[in-house]
Amino acid sequence: MTGDCEDTGFDERLLTARALQRVDAFHGDLVQQWLLAEQDGDAELAAKVRAAGALYRCRDGSAAVTDARLAGDVLHDRRFTNVPSSPDVPSYTLAGVDGVMRAEATVEVPSLSVAQHDVDTAVERAVRARGTPAELDLVAEVIWPTVADLLRVALDIELDRRDIFRRLAEQAAISLDAAVCPPRLPDAHRLKASLHELRNLCGVEKFAVAVIASELAVNLTTNTVLRLFESAPSASTAGAWRGEVTTLVERVLLRDSPLRLHRMFTEEDVELAGHRIEANSRILVMGADAGREPGNGYATALAVAAHPRLASLVIAVAVAVSTALCGQLPRLRPVGRLIRRLRAPVTRAVVRFPVTVTDFEVQ
């Protein structure tokens, strides 16, 4: 399923890809069932895929790698790439998303140049924007704006373009999921348009940072804050946890990864787990652990191994925003239920995180 913004056959190919995925799932393809499942059923299906062996052959010719050590080998093997080398190979995604993956291969990743005090101030301002007491969406009103602004500064995008950069980055956030799970037509058209505008706004050399780093940083921050709420609910412990956020982020990378699946393609014929895989085949690497050197935290995380050029920036942003939020935790209390993005097998991204804000510290 490929096509540029002007491609008149895009709708037909997208609908065909969606239909074929559902047909394969209906006929018992466990991986396609897992890709289509929402959060309530994905764990059980993932377990069934892993029980079928280290490598699962899909009905569409793809192969899913479920063994942690084999996954690590694939992710570090130059015979596998993020995009198909042949233009004749169906990419299972939008041409714009493949463009992001290609740009990532050569991107010059900027460093995070904002002081922690400034991040603390920005987060506190966002948390208190509605006054107290109040209810707010921690993802939409605090995490996304802060992450987007940190990346805007890192990418040297003008201040007066802040709002449009954030809007486009949020709209492009489904890119990683769309790479393996074709979105609905309205979402796909919105994604195409946002990728086109982001490319014009950021330039080709910064394009991948705006799309991939923002989504991974938001997800990693959100997952870290979820763990913080479990571990540091009171004022007496929040201060202590503030100094341990970096360690917590490392644990989250391994146990609640912002990336649960990575799509790759074979450059040549290869053999995996006793199976011959033809050149230009799609490989889906499943699992939160890349399987290389289990005792080496960051290095074994799937999100790091799959996106090594962006990993340091993503981690730095997540640590900075999570550290700032740690100082606000005593005044925050989760309410209601988390809402996750639909059709998001790669990220299982939280898109709504309701909390109440008080003017006193919860003990």
Structure tokens at 189: 């058209």
Of 3-17, 272-286, 311-325, the range with the lowest mean pLDDT is: 3-17
Of 91-95, 111-115, 301-305, the range with the lowest mean pLDDT is: 91-95
pLDDT at 301 over 90: no
Q: Is the dihedral of CA 66, 71, 73, 74 positive or negative?
A: positive
Of 2-11, 20-29, 120-129, 131-140, the range with the lowest mean pLDDT is: 2-11
Residue 13 DSSP SS3: helix
Query: How does DSSP classify residue 107?
Result: -
- The fraction of the chain above a pLDDT of 90, given in percent, is 54
Q: For residue range 38-48, what is the model confidence (pLDDT) as tens digits?
A: 765 677 888 88
Q: In whole angstroms, give the CA distance from residue 299 to residue 237.
A: 29
Average pLDDT over residues 283-295: 65
Query: How does DSSP classify residue 174?
Result: G
pLDDT for 296 equals 57
pLDDT at 37 over 70: yes
Instruction: Quote the Cα angle for 73-70-306, to 5°.
Output: 55
Phi, psi (degrees; rounded to nearest 5) at 87? -70, -15
pLDDT for 2 equals 41
Residues 10-357: name the CATH superfamily: Cytochrome P450 (1.10.630.10)
- The fraction of the chain above a pLDDT of 70, given in percent, is 88
Q: How confident is the model at residue 72 (pLDDT cuts 50, 70, 90)?
A: confident
* Mean pLDDT of the chain, nearest integer: 87
Q: For residue range 160-192, what is the model confidence (pLDDT) as tens digits?
A: 999 999 999 999 999 999 999 989 999 999 999
Residue 116 DSSP SS3: helix
The upper half-sphere exposure of residue 136, i.e. CA atoms within 13 Å in the direction of its Cβ, equals 23
361 within 8 A of 235, measured Cβ to Cβ = yes
Q: How confident is the model at residue 67 (pLDDT cuts 50, 70, 90)?
A: confident
Average pLDDT over residues 187-213: 93
Phi, psi (degrees; rounded to nearest 5) at 62? -70, 165
What 3 state SS string does 141-172 have?
Answer: HHHHHHHHHHHHHHCCCCHHHHHHHHHHHHHH
Domain boundaries, the chain: 10-357
Phi, psi (degrees; rounded to nearest 5) at 132? -135, 145
pLDDT at 280 over 90: no
Q: For residue range 215-266, what is the model confidence (pLDDT) as tens digits?
A: 999 999 999 999 998 875 555 566 667 778 999 999 999 888 899 999 999 9
Q: In whole angstroms, give the CA distance from residue 100 to residue 108.
A: 14
pLDDT for 5 equals 44
Average pLDDT over residues 116-133: 92
pLDDT for 41 equals 60
- How many C-beta atoms surround the C-beta of residue 160 within 10 A? 7
